[in-house]
Amino acid sequence: MERILQFFYRRIFDRNLKDISQKDFSRDLFLSEEKKIVLWPNDSVVALNLQFDDFCTQSKKNSRYDYGGNPHQGVVPLFTRFLEAHEAIKTTLFFVPWGSFNNSKGIFIGERKNKEVYAINNPSHKNLVDWIHTHNDRVEIACHGFNHIQTHKKHFLTSAEFEFSSSQEAEEKISQGLRMFEEVEIPIFGFRPPMWGIGYNAGFGLINALKKLPFSYIAGSSPLSGLNWDRKRVSNIYPQYYEGILNIPQNISLAWNIEKIKDAIDAVISYGGIITLMGHFNEQDNWMEDGIGEKNLEKIDKIISYVRVKCHDKVWFATLSEIASFWKKEYPA
């Protein structure tokens, strides 16, 4: 439905709008890369990071859908058991500090009454904050915007929070979110733009804002989104500096079928790069096929096993902040 609305929005209101949700699937994803000789820690063949978007305070206690807000029921206990069963895995969870959704469709709206109830620094979420602190040796929290909603263009890229933002607007919103994380003592090193909206429709205001903010890295690209939406600006296999900012690519989606995932893994391994496997931190259902559920956790288990066999167990499991720290030391800008 949203794609249909966006099509008519462009036809009726502004034909010059860039629809970043449209992808060119004919483009090559992993070839034509410049191969690097990377000496990963522990003589590892590749680095591997498991990552999920949209973690926030929403749960079945306060909304229709569960995005991890209740550490005692639903997605979080399921994910906790998965971590306990896979002691080597480390993960980066991209958290929306002021996350509120439309209850009927699961879309971020951020403008509801009493929206403060969803803020991470609201005392009602102390148990969730405690869970994050308890697991911070293996779970990194990164910033995923502020409320995941843009209000500049109604019915067009509604989840791409910063796609139409000026540099000042983006800096102010992100800074507000960082202050909320600081209040509950959650360290933040990285940032991913909601819906990969880096500002193709606004002079790349977000990128200009990120240059001023204290992130050690951004996760600003997938093979066909973010920095690589219209053309390839950064590597899909290695970290790469873009205008002075270290970008760590996301390159494999949990939504892909297992054979496509294996082919992508083989390509990344052949380059000795980073495998970044991404899903969404919500209950797995029909509208979010890469969410957390028994089937997808079993799928992740198979993917991890496949990587270990292919690399003879020479895999460096790391958070994105650990990868960024390593890269900056070995390959300074």
pLDDT digits (tens, 9 = 90+) for 46-95: 999 999 999 999 998 888 889 999 999 999 999 999 999 999 999 999 99
Alpha helices, DSSP H only, in the chain?
2-12, 75-85, 126-134, 167-183, 205-210, 258-271, 294-310, 320-330
What pLDDT is stored for residue 107 in this prediction? Answer: 45
Please report the pLDDT score of residue 5 as a whole number: 56
Domain count of the chain?
1
216 located within any domain:
yes
Residues 169-214 pLDDT 10s: 999 999 999 999 999 999 999 999 999 999 999 999 999 999 999 9
CA 129 – CA 121 distance, rounded (Å): 9
Mean of the per-residue pLDDT values for the chain?
91
Reply yes or no on whether the pLDDT at 225 is more than 50.
yes
For 83-95, how does the pLDDT look when each residue is reduced to its tens digit (9 = 90+)? 999 999 999 999 9
CATH code of the domain containing 62: 3.20.20.370
Q: What is the largest CA-CA distance in the chain?
A: 57
Q: How confident is the model at residue 103 (pLDDT cuts 50, 70, 90)?
A: very low
235 neighbors 249 (Cβ within 8 angstroms) = yes
In a domain, 178, yes or no: yes
| Residue at 24 is within a domain | no
Q: List pLDDT tens digits, range 1-20.
A: 555 555 555 555 566 789 99
For residue 25, is it within any domain? no
Q: Is residue 81 part of a domain?
A: yes
How many residues does the structure list for the chain? 333
Assigned domain for 202 exists: yes
In a domain, 255, yes or no: yes
With 0-12 CB in 10 A as exposed, 13-18 as middle and 19+ as buried, what is 51?
buried
Answer whether residue 29 is part of any domain: no
Q: The domain containing residue 127 runs over which residues?
A: 2-6+40-330
**Structure-block tokens of residue 233:** 């600006």
Q: What is the pLDDT of residue 4?
A: 57
